[in-house]
Chains A and B, each alone.
Chain A
Amino acid sequence: MIEIDQVSKWYGSTQVLAECSTRVAKGEVVVICGPSGSGKSTLIKLVNGLESFQSGRITVDGVFVDAPETDLPKLRSRVGMVFQNFELFPHLSVRDNLTLAQIKVLGRSKKEARERGLSLLERVGLQAYAKQYPSQLSGGQQQRVAIARALCMDPICMLFDEPTSALDPEMVNEVLDVMIELAREGMTMMCVTHEMGFAREVADRVIFIDQGVIVEDCHRDDFFGDVAARSERAQQFLSSILSH
């Protein structure tokens, strides 16, 4: 579904990703972790072309992300993305947040879009909030709306960039629950997260990235189970996040 092949990226003269390769099969859930500034967000934003890269190749469902002939907006409409800061549109009600792209991008009728929006709101447990504005919702609720907004587009895969790290601790689980359910239903997912409980529960593979290099890319059981076989950096990282 997603193939990343020898991808390197520079910001000016500083290299932020070095020859990264990995692939995510259909229905697979991959968790990406690593220290701050290691390039996790950058890597995930390459997949839907929000950031450009200088060498290598990325395909999503067979489409080359950086090919000039690729219709990027069209590709993006098929790839859902959830951001750390939710990024709901504050001037639109929850309902209009959910319907905007359905109407403008997919060409759905207003009625169709609203029905789809409502059914996804219901799924994330927020059907009562359709008429509210994002600022009236808690962080956890906003993030669930953001997930519903992405799902409205019937994406072939979902990208998450630290979806719970801006949340108060008591709201983390309500968002993770939605993500876990999604993973169990077979959604293809790439998640940047430090929630190792989530990784243990639903991830097929865990990628550990440090200073722009993919250091570990292995099955969940190997990552958590066979700690001694992991690189020193990964071990340090794991012990630092698991200790608090």
Chain B
Amino acid sequence: MNLDVITDHLDYFLVGAYPHGPLGGAALTLILSVLSALVSGVLGFILGIALAVTRGFAQTSLLLVLSFFRAIPVIMLIFWTYFMLPIVFGINVPGIATVVIALSLIGGAYLAHSVYAGIRSLRQGQWQAAAALGLRPWQVLRYVILPQALPIMTPSFINQWVALIKDTSLAYVIGVGELSFVATQVSNREMVYPTEIFLFVALLYYAICSTLEFFANRVARRYQQAT
């Protein structure tokens, strides 16, 4: 084991070229993850609720769109948004935004199904009892359905977010300097000790994922108690 290769490049692993250049490394991975987790979470919530309250044509169309996003590989969506959007709409999407958009759309599509399944797992009678008291549809969701469905959804959210953190590594295909990108760079430059480098990188991913899991569980518990 030679850990010098880690300590020598520690800054580069953690923050990339920052402050002399753009932010990268683990810090960028973290930012990409948090942004995609938030956006995919919000999307998943809205689309999952939409699935639960729509019927017929609207629901079928929504399901089709979602299955499309679930079917395409992340890497292809990243390519498309990065290379196709400028051509089709004449707008340049920065690399980081591309990754966040792609991961959020795909994560959101998966989460929408979890939210939908969580909502559907409650008995129809709960909707009826809440409505019979005069609660408006959004109040029924807010005060009766979601507080019960959310604890059921938490594991899917954590799974999806962990998967998403790992998928941020695909950002390398468009040259976004996140953790695996800088690790590959260092490894290629030094040409020695790839085992140490990638072991260290794996540890960093592990740390990020477990931190997320820890906080997500805590928030879920807090929410359960608050309602």
Binding site for B on A (CB under 8 A): 45, 48, 50, 73-74, 76-81, 83, 85, 87-92, 100-101, 104-106, 146, 149-150, 153
B55 CB within 8 Å of chain A = no
B60 CB within 8 Å of chain A = no
In angstroms, Cα B134 to Cα A79, docked, is 9
B85 CB within 8 Å of chain A = no
In angstroms, Cα B80 to Cα A243, docked, is 73
Which of B20-28, B100-108, B135-143, B202-210 binds A? Answer: B135-143
A146 CB contacts on chain B under 8 angstroms: 129
Contact of A104 with B139 in the complex, beta carbons under 8 Å: yes
B159 CB within 8 Å of chain A = no
Contact of A87 with B126 in the complex, beta carbons under 8 Å: yes
In angstroms, Cα B125 to Cα A146, docked, is 13
Residue of B nearest to A75 (CB): B134
Contact of A76 with B144 in the complex, beta carbons under 8 Å: no
Contact of B133 with A77 in the complex, beta carbons under 8 Å: yes
Please provide the 5 A-B residue pairs with the shortest distance between their CB atoms, ordered closest to farther: A77-B134, A87-B129, A101-B133, A81-B132, A105-B134
Contact of B123 with A79 in the complex, beta carbons under 8 Å: no
B194 CB contacts on chain A under 8 angstroms: none
- The answer, among B125, B136, B143, for a CB contact under 8 Å with A83, is B125
Tell me how far the C-beta of B131 lies from the nearest C-beta in chain A, rounded to whole angstroms: 6
Number of interface residues of B (CB under 8 A): 19
Q: Which of B145-179 contact A (CB under 8 A)?
A: 147-148
Tell me how far the C-beta of B3 lies from the nearest C-beta in chain A, rounded to whole angstroms: 50
- The answer, among B132, B136, B144, B224, for a CB contact under 8 Å with A89, is B144
Contact of A153 with B134 in the complex, beta carbons under 8 Å: yes
Contact of B129 with A81 in the complex, beta carbons under 8 Å: yes
In angstroms, Cα B163 to Cα A48, docked, is 46
Contact of A50 with B128 in the complex, beta carbons under 8 Å: yes
B130 CB contacts on chain A under 8 angstroms: 89
CB-CB under 8 A for A104 and B143, given A85-B123, A87-B125, A90-B148:
yes
B2 CB within 8 Å of chain A = no
Contact of A105 with B132 in the complex, beta carbons under 8 Å: no
In addition to A73-B131, A83-B129, A149-B133, 14 A-B residue pairs with Cβ atoms within 8 Å of each other are A48-B132, A50-B132, A73-B136, A76-B133, A83-B125, A85-B125, A87-B125, A87-B126, A89-B130, A91-B227, A92-B227, A100-B135, A105-B133, A146-B129
In angstroms, Cα B122 to Cα A85, docked, is 13
In angstroms, Cα B130 to Cα A76, docked, is 10
In angstroms, Cα B125 to Cα A150, docked, is 15
B132 CB contacts on chain A under 8 angstroms: 48, 50, 76, 79-81, 150
Tell me how far the C-beta of B118 lies from the nearest C-beta in chain A, rounded to whole angstroms: 13
Residue of A nearest to B129 (CB): A87
B224 CB contacts on chain A under 8 angstroms: 91
Q: Which of B209-227 contact A (CB under 8 A)?
A: 224, 227
